[in-house]
């Protein structure tokens, strides 16, 4: 596969993204060309594409809003968009069938997650069908049960990636998680040394700036104090 370019969409991509949507979703689920036109006009910064050899092969689109839950009216009502909204609502994740099984959707999703963290949003919300729950769980999304959505006449599950909750989960488990404070990127990670397990934070240069030798909830408590007091920079 050729090099992948990740970028945001513009109006020149309208026909290509409409075609990709139609090949990836049923007629009942797919967004129309006019809907995509409205989204690109209203919030182009929330429309991400993966391009290979000049072809758009994967895409994610949504909008930021102050609402906490994804509702059916959001799919067609751009008035609910807010550039300063705390949550990104994802409307669709699609990869062309000929390019599936190459990790493109995962790569694009990781890019979107990092972008929303950089903008210091609260997190991301999406709805999906039951068979896709494990895919999104890999990124830290947590199922909140069956959604009120009746979009396309299907049963949808609402999933949420709350960045702060994700951070605390990683602190308890010694996992790895990026986060931002005051525009700077940090990495929280567990590290096993000969004298025990440590929870560390490094800055954007890779230099370790914080550490605790505690584990589990005790490590999370130590980290929470440093994080909330913004003592990491």
What are the tens digits of pLDDT across the range 160-199?
999 999 999 999 999 999 999 989 999 999 988 777 789 9
Last residue of a domain, one of 162, 192, 212: 162
Torsion of CA 24, 25, 27, 30, to 10 degrees: -100
Domain residues for the domain of 199 are 174-228
49 has a pLDDT exceeding 80: yes
- Please indicate, yes or no, whether residues 106 and 198 belong to a single structural domain of this protein: no
- Do 44 and 8 lie in one domain? The reply is yes
**Are residues 186 and 150 part of one domain?**
no
Identify whether the C-beta of residue 99 lies closer than 8 Å to the C-beta of residue 57: yes
Assign residue 134 the CATH number of its domain.
3.40.630.30
> Is 178 within a domain?
yes
Q: What pLDDT shows up at residue 189? A: 96
Asked whether residue 28 carries a pLDDT value surpassing 90, the answer given is no
Domain count, the chain: 2
Within a domain: residue 53?
yes
Quickly state the pLDDT bin for 233 (edges 50, 70, 90).
Answer: low
pTM equals 0.94
Choose between 141 and 53: higher pLDDT: 141
pLDDT, greater one: 9 or 27: 9
Question: Does 102 share its domain with 149?
Answer: yes
Same domain, 51 and 116: yes
Residue 1 has pLDDT above 60, yes or no: no
Residue 196 lies in a domain: yes
Q: Are residues 150 and 206 in the same domain?
A: no
Written as six digits, the tokens of 127 are: 């709805």
Residue 123 has a pLDDT of 98
47 in a structural domain: yes
Same domain, 99 and 148: yes
């Amino acid at each position: 596969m050729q090099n992948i370019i990740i970028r945001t969409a513009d109006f020149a991509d309208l026909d290509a993204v409409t075609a990709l949507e139609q090949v990836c979703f049923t007629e009942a689920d797919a967004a129309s060309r006019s809907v995509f036109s409205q989204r690109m006009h209203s919030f182009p910064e929330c429309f991400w594409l993966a391009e290979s050899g000049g072809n758009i092969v994967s895409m994610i689109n949504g909008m930021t809003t102050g609402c906490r839950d994804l509702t059916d009216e959001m799919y067609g009502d751009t008035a609910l968009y807010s550039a300063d909204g705390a949550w990104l609502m994802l409307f669709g994740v699609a990869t062309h069938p000929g390019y599936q099984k190459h990790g493109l959707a995962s790569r694009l999703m990781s890019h979107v997650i990092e972008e929303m963290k950089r903008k210091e949003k609260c997190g991301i919300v999406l709805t999906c069908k039951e068979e896709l729950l494990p895919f999104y769980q890999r990124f830290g999304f947590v199922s909140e049960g069956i959604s009120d959505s009746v979009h396309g006449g299907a049963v949808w599950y609402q999933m949420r990636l709350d960045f702060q909750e994700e951070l605390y989960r990683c602190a308890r488990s010694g996992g790895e998680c990026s986060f931002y404070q005051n525009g700077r990127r940090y990495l929280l990670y567990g590290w096993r040394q000969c004298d025990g397990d440590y929870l560390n934070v490094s800055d954007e240069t890779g230099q370790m700036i914080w550490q605790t030798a505690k584990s589990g909830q005790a490590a999370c408590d130590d980290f929470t104090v440093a994080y909330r007091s913004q003592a990491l920079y």
